[in-house]
Structure 1
């Protein structure tokens, strides 16, 4: 079965997590299919924005626990291997991708599904959607970047409460706390997310990729290190075709036509 549906239109690759009967929870094959599609997104310069959503009534319920049953012999599963082989590479690839990544959260996002969504560059959520850090209910630690993203998005106190309590957080509350970009009515989610993705696909992709990397680097850089990084990235951006096109369009008072180079 195709657990990841992919579609490319107008420079936007839409990835749909496609295990609706399991609330799009991850199993190993779904991880492998997602990794394969991400390789296309990385290599294809015509893809200038990535949009991730879920099929059915959920965005993603995290890890499929049916794949994590305790061995009949009583041996404990090595959950660290799953994190190392699947979730960590996924988080790193999305962060490193030099193109905007948008999550359109259409329903429940729980466990690794919640942290996957919050690890995207921008999050648009349906009004009925919610986020659940359900790890603590199983005696586990937030993974898929959860312990890194949560304090930075929500602050330490709220991150601690979310991670320890494992309670449901509504899309509106996540917006009020500054954790996501936008909340829209359920019926408007797809159109709103696609409009934003299509907008990004027409923008100076090379520069957007540098913006993304600079903001991630600022989380650990000193001010002096970040100033040096801004200098270096601005030098690269100033040599791009998109910068020349942007300046030319401004001076001739016409709309720019960016090629993402």
Structure 2
């Protein structure tokens, strides 16, 4: 265990960002939010990083906002307390969702509130068998942050998203996957190793194709058909102009495995 609330490990082209405050079950203090924001931004900007894992230690992926610290800040007024949404939560989610590389969440234990938002901002999730999830916001008189007003309805549909927000009930990893929250379920001790395994496989893949695919999906809502088709044509040209594409076609024709270099 490190004294830092967030630990960053880099192995080859995979960066693992771990929330590491087990004493508080990875509740998000200002120190943790600043460290997480900076770590995610660094991984997003580093061309040598081709896949990212977001994880939490011990019994929780993330409990969301540290309410003890929040209560102290709230005493200074709501504007002071909720500046964190724009200063910390929104930049982290924006970078997770838009970085031009895949992000895999390793979700074990409890994942609620902003923790759920962080998990859904990733591209894929590996859940532990006993993982428990919840929106949790309305229980303290709040609404969505961390992008959940976008990611939760996209994953489970408007009706279920409203149910989960209005009633705030806890749901299981099995329910999450059945409802459409992408991911797989493994034994708890295998969550991080499996997430890293998937990230390594993605890091060996076609970087530009992944980046363009993430962008197309993110920008699809609200686009008309003609705009979507035009965006696809431009994205295909960008992918088709890479060395990876030309090499992969040659490999396919010669019946050899493709090797992607990210160029």
Q: TM-score range by the shorter chain?
A: over 0.9
How far apart are the structure 2 equivalents of 1:129 and 1:111?
A: 14
Q: Any idea what the Cα deviations from partners look like across 1:137-182, whole Å, max 9, x if unmatched?
A: 0000011011111111111111001001111010000011111321
Q: Any idea what the Cα deviations from partners look like across 1:31-59, whole Å, max 9, x if unmatched?
A: 21122222331232221000011011100
1:173 match: 175
Is the contact between residue 126 and residue 186 of structure 1 (CA under 8 Å) also seen in structure 2?
Answer: yes
1:197 match: 199
Q: What is the aligned length?
A: 261
Confirm whether residue 208 of structure 1 aligns to residue 226 of structure 2. Answer: no
Is the contact between residue 70 and residue 77 of structure 1 (CA under 8 Å) also seen in structure 2?
Answer: no
1:156 match: 158
Q: Residue 116 of structure 1: SS of its match in structure 2?
A: helix
Is the contact between residue 5 and residue 35 of structure 2 (CA under 8 Å) also seen in structure 1?
Answer: yes
Deviation at 1:10, TM superposition (A): 3.1
1:131 match: 133
How far apart are the structure 2 equivalents of 1:106 and 1:72?
A: 30
TM-score scaled by structure 2?
0.94
Question: What's the RMSD between the two structures over aligned residues?
Answer: 1.6
Greater shift, 32-41 or 59-68, is seen at: 32-41
TM-score scaled by structure 1?
0.95
How far apart are the structure 2 equivalents of 1:171 and 1:153?
A: 14
Long gaps (5+) in structure 1: none
Is the contact between residue 64 and residue 115 of structure 2 (CA under 8 Å) also seen in structure 1?
Answer: yes
Deviation at 1:77, TM superposition (A): 5.4
Long gaps (5+) in structure 2: none
